[in-house]
Structure 1
């Protein structure tokens, strides 16, 4: 009797499992798409959405897991969704790339629970797609929003004027043999009794040349990003702001062994910047190293920590001396943490533009 009952229960369970299995769609038949920006920004959270559509007459209870590049940090690995018949549901997460470059998203793993909750069907939905990581473009979007709201610091609007051909009146002067006859002011000529020319001026904005250190020392990490990535983000933001102000922007990368930490190695950079400062307005932007400052300020508890403190203090002193030399030769400078580099650079650029131009 007991055996018969057990067999009957087993048969019923198998039948229900088969019914549950047949009522559960195959994961590969469920429409899924991934929605993300074509240009992802390095070091910040980029919203990625996995969208699931239910074309069936029964609700879908799903667990989704997306396949992201190994160098991406995400705030959630899986998401549970309940999607009604004919409805659409989204599972969103934030992806934070650690490196620039071209990567690829993989397939989406989907697990569906049956309506009787007796089993689950798991499968992989093809969703391979490129994931191109650029410098921080979101900072530019935030700046655009601040412009629309009137929050951005508006400065440096004056133009550099160049006498010569143009459309703006500059002054009247004596006619010169090589002047264009069209420059003659006949009214002024008749009034003064001798040929008088009109001198016009053209308007030209400043030229901004960004020199980007791409050497080996820039590969070390500050926070989540390398020094080079911080510098590239700042260069991109500065270029955007300068172009918005009407300036011409150029970029030059260099990778020679120059460093403000080693006084011997920094001589070439200091000499080059001081030479540039003779005919240009130069701004030197330097990244602070919080670990170095921490080592110099830490109370030593051992001979090893004392040695680290002495070395860190000497390095910081050499850095301050190099920046002082630059300032004496007319080079402006900022020395800020990585998270303040873009903001401080933009503010100083606008201040210098307003002050000198």
Structure 2
């Protein structure tokens, strides 16, 4: 018995039902002082409670391992997305047990309500499903799975501890990549506001052989195919499709601003991963540059099989810095690294027109050699404030200032367009879709 308690006492818990039964027995003993006719009823009641307690102990601890539980997750979590988590519980008891499952999830979520209750018939297997939405990249430590078992008697509870401890990395958003892949391969781009412009290329990349129609260049007639088909056939060619697409991510302090739990840097990282995937599906080469006061990571543009994984591994550890980005250094790095003209998508943020004007000379120099697309963010809090009716003089002041900053954002777009620099001003939650739409529009217009 001593060995039994030494082995199991730490996992043995008394229930409210037992305390209620003992309280009832105590009440009977107290009443016995005033009502002698109770006789031996209090002793009998206490004996019954103790007997049931021992029976409960026996049936719960008769099986060395009466319950099995395991946590089923993917090898990594997707930042900013709902990630499914499953806990599978199997009963080996010969009777129905009441089960309480507590999953020790990573401290980053600051959740204490992952507490599940269920009934398990003999030999049954049940699954518990819930979702976790991480808002920071990095490593997340899962702890034990605590399973508490009670028999139908319910006087004691036995705890099982399953070592579900594991460390899962949280990578840039990858769960919704399939949705953006459909945008890349869909032929019905007009639903995204994109009109594809057909342009007959004259490069050496062969496309197909088709029937001759009026207006086709007679120099492209394929005489062998004509002889076989007894009709004029011509070769068609397409423009070179493999272009360099670089995502340039600003890691300076302007990207620390939070929105719905994610920083602007995280939104830019998620959009970069999605754009890289779509670009490679469109047969372009995807690359990456990160910049703050110094040059961060540089991933040369490529479309090999592991390129997307390389980009995600680089972005996995990127963090914002506290100084302003050095765009002069960015310009010199672009000139030395990127030898061919391509599309550069620069994710940054400007909160004032003067901030843009400080960086504008370097942006103009970059746009001379590449097609530059500057992506920056709307301040959604200011936009919401500007639409609210003012209730007093202070409210009028706040609303006026908010409208001033919103108007400055529109001036930034005009200023960039004036110098031939493309721009996208977008709310954070629509960043990925808007950037991919802009890329597809440029692709359809044969600008890249």
Q: What residue is the counterpart of 1:178 in the other structure? A: none
Which has the larger displacement, 81-90 or 22-31?
22-31
| Residue 153 of structure 2 corresponds to residue 116 of structure 1 | yes
Q: What residue is the counterpart of 1:324 in the other structure? A: 414
Cα-to-partner distance string for 1:73-97 (whole Å, 9 max, x where unaligned): 7796222222232332111111111
| Residue 86 of structure 2 corresponds to residue 49 of structure 1 | yes
Q: Secondary structure at the match of 1:282?
A: strand
Q: Could you tell me how far 1:229 is from its partner in structure 2? A: 0.9
Q: Could you tell me how far 1:27 is from its partner in structure 2? A: 9.6
- Which runs of 5 or more residues in structure 1 are unaligned? 170-199
CA distance in 2, matches of 1:103, 1:268: 39
Q: Could you tell me how far 1:260 is from its partner in structure 2? A: 2.2
CA contact (8 A) 2:105 2:142 kept: yes
Q: What residue is the counterpart of 1:234 in the other structure? A: 271
Q: Could you tell me how far 1:39 is from its partner in structure 2? A: 1.4
Cα-to-partner distance string for 1:215-272 (whole Å, 9 max, x where unaligned): 1121111123111111111111001100111111111112252652223322233222
CA distance in 1, matches of 2:131, 2:70: 16
| Residue 258 of structure 2 corresponds to residue 250 of structure 1 | no
| Residue 275 of structure 2 corresponds to residue 275 of structure 1 | no
More strand by share: 1
Which has the larger displacement, 253-262 or 102-111?
253-262
Matches within 5 A, 1:18-37: 18-25=54-61, 30-37=67-74
Sort the Cα spacing of 1:202 and 1:335 in 2 relative to 1 into closer, same or farther, 3 A.
Answer: closer
CA contact (8 A) 2:96 2:151 kept: no
Which has the larger displacement, 154-163 or 334-343?
154-163
| Residue 179 of structure 2 corresponds to residue 142 of structure 1 | yes
CA distance in 2, matches of 1:326, 1:67: 50
Q: What residue is the counterpart of 1:85 in the other structure? A: 122
CA contact (8 A) 1:54 1:83 kept: yes
- Which runs of 5 or more residues in structure 2 are unaligned? 1-36, 208-236, 294-323, 326-348
Which has the larger displacement, 275-284 or 322-331?
275-284
Q: What residue is the counterpart of 2:377 in the other structure? A: 287
CA distance in 2, matches of 1:219, 1:2: 74
CA contact (8 A) 1:230 1:338 kept: yes
How many residues align structurally?
A: 325
Q: Secondary structure at the match of 1:33?
A: strand
Sort the Cα spacing of 1:220 and 1:28 in 2 relative to 1 into closer, same or farther, 3 A.
Answer: farther
TM-score, normalised to structure 2, is 0.65
Which has the larger displacement, 222-231 or 343-352?
222-231
Cα-to-partner distance string for 1:159-197 (whole Å, 9 max, x where unaligned): 99897xx7769xxxxxxxxxxxxxxxxxxxxxxxxxxxx
CA distance in 2, matches of 1:42, 1:27: 40
Q: What residue is the counterpart of 2:53 in the other structure? A: 17
CA contact (8 A) 2:103 2:144 kept: yes
Q: What residue is the counterpart of 1:7 in the other structure? A: 43
Sort the Cα spacing of 1:23 and 1:343 in 2 relative to 1 into closer, same or farther, 3 A.
Answer: same
CA distance in 2, matches of 1:311, 1:122: 59
Q: Secondary structure at the match of 1:21?
A: helix
TM-score, normalised to structure 1, is 0.80
CA distance in 1, matches of 2:238, 2:131: 53
Q: Could you tell me how far 1:38 is from its partner in structure 2? A: 1.1
